Amino acid sequence: MYLGQLYGLIYLFNFSRNFKKQPLKVGYTYSGSDLETLFFFDTFRRKLEDVMTSPVLVSHDSFIQDAIITLFMYDADVLYVIDEEKKLLGILSRKDLLRAALKC
């Protein structure tokens, strides 16, 4: 948060998709640079503004169906619920929306 407003989001996915090299996977070995060089120079020296994404916002009075459509249209992992003054009220995940849809 920056002065009470959401500025951007950082996910592990942002780092891996912005790598010029393939991200490491469990069970695989990396045959290029040693790990220290890979992580230090490619990851730790990058600025957050280079990898963060914009949040997907929904109004607190939206319908569940509209939230689900928004989630999939933007291929988002979560939705940020805001009020009329654009204050963050909460976060909805795919699991939250699936649970809500099944209860209807």
Tell me the pLDDT tens digit for each residue of 28-47: 555 555 666 666 666 677 78
Percent pLDDT > 70 in the chain is 58
**What is the mean pLDDT of the segment spanning 2-13?**
56
**What is the mean pLDDT of the segment spanning 35-63?**
80
CB-hemisphere CA count at 13 Å for 16?
Answer: 7
Averaged pLDDT score across all residues of the chain: 76
Q: How far apart are the first and last CA of the chain?
A: 34
**Residue (of 87, 82, 77) closest to 59 by Cα position:** 82
What's the whole-model pTM score? 0.58
